[in-house]
């Protein structure tokens, strides 16, 4: 599992990605993160919830109550236009971050690596 320190700055990005195509709720989001990352990253419940609250107060997402066809009542989250904008920014930021860090990472077939 990855250290959560490294990934913290991109928790919001992951969550926003998962509500991009329609509302979702707490457990579904945490489950999809686990599945998409092949269980390499598990977001703790408290991390997820504090991200919800932070993004809600920043106006990136909105909470509303609803329920699945036969399920129990749940708090759902949907992305706002503000949130979509922020998501795009984060994606661009990541491209650059990745490009920058990449320069400093040794690859196994590099001759300096031994």
Partner 1 sequence: MNTIRNYLDNMFLGLPQTEDVTRAKKELLAMMEDKYNELKDSGKTENEAIGIVISEFGNLDELGDTLGIKQVIKNKNDVPIISYEEAKNYIEDSKSTAPKTALGVLLCIISPITMLILIGLREFNFVNVKEDLLIAAGLVVLIILVATGVSYFIKFSSKLEKYDDLKVNLFELDYETEQMVRNVQKQNEQTYKSAVSISVVCYILSALPIIITPLISEVEGLSVLSVAITLIIVALSTYNIINKSSSNEACNVLLQEGDYSVKNKSNKAFQTVSKVYWCVIVAVYLGYSFITNNWAMSWIIWPVAGVLFGAIKAILDVQS
Q: Binding partner 1 by CB under 8 A: which of 7, 10, 37, 74?
A: 74
Q: Binding partner 1 by CB under 8 A: which of 40, 53, 85, 88?
A: 53
* First-last CA distance in the chain: 25
From 15-23, 46-54, 86-94, 102-110, give the range in contact with partner 1 by CB under 8 A. Answer: 46-54
User: Running DSSP on this structure, what letter comes out for residue 1?
Assistant: -
Q: Binding partner 1 by CB under 8 A: which of 40, 44, 85, 88?
A: 44
Confirm or reject binding of residue 37 to partner 1 (CB under 8 A): no
Confirm or reject binding of residue 45 to partner 1 (CB under 8 A): yes
Among 55, 44, 49, 42, smallest CA distance to 12 is for 55
x/- binding map, residues 80-109, to partner 1, per CB under 8 A?
A: ------------------------------
Total residues in contact with partner 1, by rule CB under 8 A: 21
Q: How far apart are CA 109 and CA 113, in angstroms?
A: 7
Q: How far apart are CA 60 and CA 52, in angstroms?
A: 9
Q: How far apart are CA 5 and CA 92, in angstroms?
A: 21
């Amino acid at each position: 599992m990855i250290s959560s320190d490294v990934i913290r700055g991109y928790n919001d990005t992951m969550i926003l990605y998962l509500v991009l195509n329609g509302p979702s709720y707490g457990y579904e989001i945490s489950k999809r993160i686990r599945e998409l990352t092949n269980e390499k990253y598990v977001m703790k419940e408290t991390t997820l919830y504090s991200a919800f609250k932070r993004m809600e107060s920043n106006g990136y997402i909105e909470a509303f109550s609803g329920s699945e066809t036969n399920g129990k009542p749940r708090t759902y989250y949907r992305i706002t236009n503000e949130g979509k904008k922020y998501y795009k920014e984060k994606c661009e930021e990541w491209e650059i971050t990745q490009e920058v860090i990449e320069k400093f990472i040794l690859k196994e077939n590099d001759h300096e690596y031994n």
